[in-house]
Structure formats: structure tokens, C-alpha cells
Amino acid sequence: MAKGAYGAYRKAMGDVYGGWWLTWPLTQRVRVTDVRALHDDGSVSAGTLADRGIKAEPGPAGAHADLAYDAAGTVAVRFKAAGAAAQGFTSVPAAEAGARVEFHAGRSALVVYTGLEQEGLDDVSGLARELVRRFWLGTWDADLFTVTDVISARSGTVLTAEEAGATAELRVQGSAGPGPLQLADLAAGVTFGASSRVGLNWTGKDVTPCYRGVRIRRTWLRRVTEEYGTPQPGRGLATGPVPPVLLDEAGDETWSVVERVGPDERP
């Protein structure tokens, strides 16, 4: 089980994006058509489809949205307007707007993202056909998976608590609009002030909080290798052209040939 800051963040995001891989560290960029390999509790980069001469294009991104998650109500946020003094603030000057975050439970997190949008691969069936072709020729490692969906964010802020009673103060800079501060204002233009027992305080722009992908389905692999042999040069699957029936299956019954791979689906 994940521990520390990542464990708190994973627990919080799992409530919202269960079945998705979480990008960690948060500064890591992941894009649709990336190729990745499973590693420990996550995955690591293994290049891109383009590196392997495979053409694939993402479709149009979805509508923008915001996310504010406070670990099932275990986090309290108190705002301070610019030019006003507020009790309890020790590191936010009276002239500046700010927020004080208090955690009432350990391993909890405050996660705020703005400008969220989802982007996905435009043609998964075409990808499935190409993976079948490459697997037949022995040039595709069936343990790899391809990123087919990515959720990106224009900006975000993440705080985690090591234990109950953790606190943090944030200065909110010019990004805040007119009117009272909102949680979404904490996603950008903040700097961190005094904190106590906080495991992680992070803010950034143009990030990809989570992603998911597909790989060749394990049951399909077993059936094909039992029928045709293993994909080794000079024998087995690579002895001739890929049977049209397998390509047709990949195109017409795509999800019988490929499967989602995520933290909940991995073996």
C-alpha cells in the first residue's frame, strides 16, 4: 500500500478517478499515444507509438472543468480577503489575500485542479489492429501498454497531511477574481507560508494528473499463442503474414483483443 504523501493523494484521487493511473511525481507529463511499462505500483515511460512508426491521433478534448476535493470533509479551509486582518493567520500579510487549511484527519489531502479536460485516442480499433500486426511479427512487447486517455489541468495545488491537526497557510496572488475567494482560486497563483505537519505542498501549471491505457488482452494472447505458437523470429507467429481473421477481430471486436490496464486491472 502506498504510504506518505503519495498515499494520501492516491486515496483522495481514487475516490474521483478510480481505475486511472495517477501521475507521480506530479510534474511528470503523460500524453495520449505514450507507451508505458508496468513498474512496482505504477508505470514508467517506454517511449511513444511514433517512436515505433505507429500513427495514432488523439480526438478533440472535452469541456473544461474544475476539481476541488477535500478528503470527504476532513479538511477545513478559511479564506482571508486582501486588506483585511484575520485571526489565526501568521504568515499572510494583511495586504494580501490568503487561505488557512486545517486537516482533521491523518493521510488526508486537499486537491484543487482547474481547467481540467479529457483527451482520448480517436481510433482504438486501428491501434488494436496495429498492435496485433506488430505482435505477430515479434516487434511488440505484449507487456507494454499504450496511453489512450489523459486528463490534463491548466493548474493545480495539492496539500497532504502527515497526521491530524496539520495546518498550512497560502498566499493567493493576482489570479483571484472579484468577490469572495473560492477553492478554485487555490489552484494557481499561490505561494506557501507557514505550515505544520504537512507532508506535501505542491502547486504547478500544465499538468496531467491521471491517465489510462490499453494493452493486448491476456486471454486473447493465450488463445492465439496456443493456436499459432509463440512470436519468435523464424518460428511460431512470425512464420507468415498475420491471419486476416485476427486483424478483422481487432477491428470489429476491439475489446475482445485489447483491454484497459490500470492500477485496479493489473495482475
pLDDT of residue 218: 95
CB 114 within 8 A of CB 93: no
pTM: 0.88
The model's pLDDT over 136-173, given as tens digits with 9 standing for 90+, comes to 988 899 999 999 999 999 999 999 998 999 999 999 98
Q: Select from 28, 24, 27 the least CA-distant residue to 10.
A: 24
Q: Where are the alpha helices (DSSP H) in the chain?
A: 4-16, 124-137, 218-228, 244-252, 254-257
